[in-house]
Amino acid sequence: MSVQIVLIAAILTVFTAFSTQLLSLAVQPGWMTGLALILAAVAIAWTAVIIWSYMLVRPAASGMPGRALAAGLAVSLCALVLAPTAYAARMAYVSRDLVHHLFAGNMGPVVADDPWSGTQRVNFLLIGADSAPNRPGVRTDSMTVASVDTATGATTLLGLPRNLEEVPMPAGPARARFPYGFTGDGLDSHGLLNEVFQYAENHPEVVPGVPDGQRGPALLKETVGGVLGIPVRYYAMVDMKGFAEMIDAVGGVRITVEEPIVYGKYREGLLPAGTRRLSGEEALWYGRSRTDSDDYVRMGRQKCLINAVARQADPVTLLNSFDGLATATKRAISTDVPQDLLPALVELAQKVRDNPIKSLNFVPPLINTAYPDWRFIRHKVNEALSPVPRTPAPAAQAARPTASPEGPVTLDKTCG
């Protein structure tokens, strides 16, 4: 009984005080394999103790009712031991399978003291991909760079519209083919930014030496990084339909809808204004609907949705919905984040969640998507990411973040 009390206390402590560290272990296959084996051994040993105890203390001559009651109690105790350990072992297996399926191979030893190699900021390209039967290939209709301060977790989302034209290409074969900016292949193509991904997949010669499925992300990372003037280190791409499954797996997302949003191919749905919990399908349409609005309004909602998901995806929620979330993630997400970086990424994600998330969208009137000023874009990015000394503001003003006509970095108020 003393051992059992200590075990229960230890489990409760781990799940409450060390939930972030627990998630860090959940993304390490070696730990997951070891945990599954330990849990199996504990379950077998504990069950053996229960059965042995029953054999020692069972009533010798209490008749059938007494024996049935004692046997039923022993079976119930075995079930109480086996059920949670079996569930935990299953979760360990699912985690191990997800990490091996989704994340790239090891990138070499990561220095525990500084897994980011002294980098002040790490930049992730977040891609929302949409494919349809009447549309060949994949269109990256949502492109956002999350620039994260590795020390504090302070994050700025830099949004690029899908319809940027004549985007400068990175040095090498891509720039040699498009020296004056990307113009597409001329076949049902408008030469927009959201076509770069599929163009690279269809034309191996512009990204030599890179295998199928990786050429698109590789070229898009370099292209977006060149536009913003920052190195884009990793990417994560989510399929729109899979995104809805992921939202459902965590029980929906609570968000403020500032104005009614019509959604559905035939305008069959309406998201009324107000704060509510959206299902996966509703969240998907919240982020993609352009009815009675445009691409730029949609981009603002997408940043708001990313903000809301980041804040509400706490460790306990993720653990409770881990099985369903892992299944949806395997179908919906592709990324080049290496396995060895995952524990550090989990810790960084917790810091992100504890900080306000700012955003800067390069949309009209800030820029002209047909004739963008690339130097101006890079200047605004540098301005947004540079540390700015803060002075105490009057309380009345501090509660009202504002935006100038030039489009500085603003807080996403609708995600609160």
3-state secondary structure 98-129: HHHHHCECCCCCCCCCCCCCCCCEEEEEEEEE
pLDDT computed for residue 284 by the predictor: 84
Global pTM exceeds 0.85: no
> If pLDDT is split at 50, 70 and 90, which confidence band does 402 have?
very low
- Asked whether 412 and 307 are in contact (CB, 8 A), the reply is yes
Mean pLDDT, rounded, for 195-208: 93
Over range 259-271, report the average pLDDT: 75
CA distances from 35 to 15, 41, 77 (A): 15, 10, 22
How does pLDDT run across 290-325, given as a tens digit for each residue? 776 777 787 778 778 877 887 777 666 776 777 778
Work out the number of other CB atoms within 10 angstroms of the CB of residue 204.
14
150-358-282 Cα angle (round to 5): 110
pLDDT band for position 117 (cuts 50, 70, 90): confident
Alpha-carbon distance of 261 to 301, in angstroms, equals: 11
- DSSP for 32-74? HHHHHHHHHHHHHHHHHHHHHHHHHHS-SSSHHHHHHHHHHHH
Residue 412 banded pLDDT, cuts 50, 70, 90: very low
Give the pLDDT confidence score for residue 397 in this predicted structure: 40
Residues with Cβ within 8 Å of residue 263, at least 6 apart in sequence: 269, 270, 271, 282, 285, 286, 289, 291
Token pair of 51, please? 């059965």
Per-residue pLDDT at 195: 93
So what's the pLDDT on residue 145? 96
pLDDT at 160 (0 to 100): 94
Residues 138, 153 contacting (CB under 8 angstroms): no
Nearest alpha carbon to residue 138 among 190, 213, 29, 67: 213
Q: Give pLDDT, residue 135.
A: 53
Average model confidence (pLDDT) for the chain?
81
pLDDT at position 231, please?
A: 95
- pLDDT of 107 above 60: no
Structure tokens given for 228:
């913003």
- What 3-state DSSP class applies to 355? coil
What CATH topology corresponds to 121-386+409-415?
Aminopeptidase (3.40.630)
Short-list 138, 141, 146, CA closest to 200: 138
DSSP state of 168: P
Question: What residue ranges do the domains of the chain occupy?
Answer: 2-102, 121-386+409-415
CA distances from 210 to 100, 139, 207 (A): 21, 20, 6
What pLDDT score was predicted for residue 148?
Answer: 95
Residues 237 and 265 sit within 8 Å (Cβ to Cβ):
no
- Centre a 10 Å sphere on the Cβ of residue 188 and count the other Cβ atoms it contains: 9
Residue 369: pLDDT band (50, 70, 90) is very high
